[in-house]
Copies of this chain bind each other. A is one copy, B any other.
Amino acid sequence: MTVPGRGEASTDGQSTDGPNADGPSTGGRGAGRPRSPEKDTAILKAALELLGSHGYTRMSLSQVAEAAQVSKSTIHLRWKTKADLLTAALAALRMADAPPASGDTRTELTAILEDFAATVERVRGMALIGTCLAEEAHTPELLTLLRERTVLPRRALLRHVLEQALEQGEIRADADLEAAVSALLGPYYADYMAGSAPRSGWAGTAVDLVLAGLRPKREQG
């Protein structure tokens, strides 16, 4: 979830687990035919989509190859194993963007949550999350990457807003901010598990509940 910039998986230049950078090492830097970057991205995009729609084990490299208009070997040239490819695909997920600072705590929190939900829905995020959870025992890197790339950045954003609110006295001083972050995001998961159509306005409702629950004592009496 959170995820690709504009609905697209995009390799990010500074990634360290991108395509193999290592050939047989002939000294010369740029010898030979350069690797097509279009294919890189097409493969990662296809892999991510199939990961969401079919799950790790049900998707096949043949499917990726076909979707990316590439031969299977071209995939293996870049990533040694299926796990490597899908790890890279997840790693290419974009971090969360900072929200437009509005100055209003409620507005900012709600915006972050709604962006979160929108991103999840855009990439079949719950299926993707499910895949990573299901594979935790077998390919733990997937869940780890999902956390690092999408969950934790989003949580950091929320926490930052809450910290500002705390400084401004909108939140009680002894509040457990990690718990608050989980209380903000949690309802999305819980609603999904409940299965009914997403409650409209869930984000606002969650923010209201958390802010009300954390309101300083003096305001209450």
- The interface of chain A, by Cβ under 8 A from chain B, is 24, 26, 32, 53-58, 65-66, 69-71, 124, 126-127, 129-138, 143-144, 146-147, 151-152, 155, 176, 178-183, 185-191, 193-195, 199, 202, 205-206, 208-215, 219-221
A151 near B193: Cβ-Cβ < 8 Å = yes
CB distance from A99 to the nearest CB of B (A): 19
The 9 closest A-B pairs by CB, nearest first: A186-B186, A130-B133, A213-B213, A189-B189, A57-B57, A130-B134, A182-B190, A186-B190, A209-B213
Q: Which residues of B contact A53 (CB under 8 A)?
A: 137
How far, in whole Å, are A219 and B56 apart by their CA atoms in the complex? Answer: 52
- Contact residues in B for A130 (Cβ distance below 8 Å): 129-136
CB pair A55 B54 closer than 8 Å: no
Do A134 and B183 touch (CB < 8 A)? no
- What residues of B have a CB within 8 angstroms of the CB of A211 in the complex? 213
14 more CB-based (< 8 A) A-B contacts, given A147-B194, A186-B186, A219-B220: A129-B193, A130-B135, A130-B136, A131-B134, A146-B193, A152-B194, A179-B206, A179-B209, A180-B209, A183-B187, A185-B193, A186-B187, A186-B191, A209-B213
CB of A158 to closest CB in B, whole Å: 10
Beyond A179-B209, A209-B209, whether A136 also contacts B147 by CB under 8 A is: no
**How far, in angstroms, from A180 to B133 measured CA to CA in the complex?**
25
For the complex, what is the distance from the CA of A193 to the CA of B125, rounded to whole Å? 13
- B contact residues around A133 at 8 Å (CB): 126-127, 129-131, 133-134
Which of A70, A135, A215 has the most C-beta atoms of chain B within 10 angstroms of its own C-beta?
A135
Check A24/B71 contact, CB under 8 A, given A127-B137, A195-B147.
yes
Partner of A57 from the list B58, B143, B189, B212 (CB cut-off 8 Å) is B58
Report A175 CB to chain B, min CB distance, Å: 9
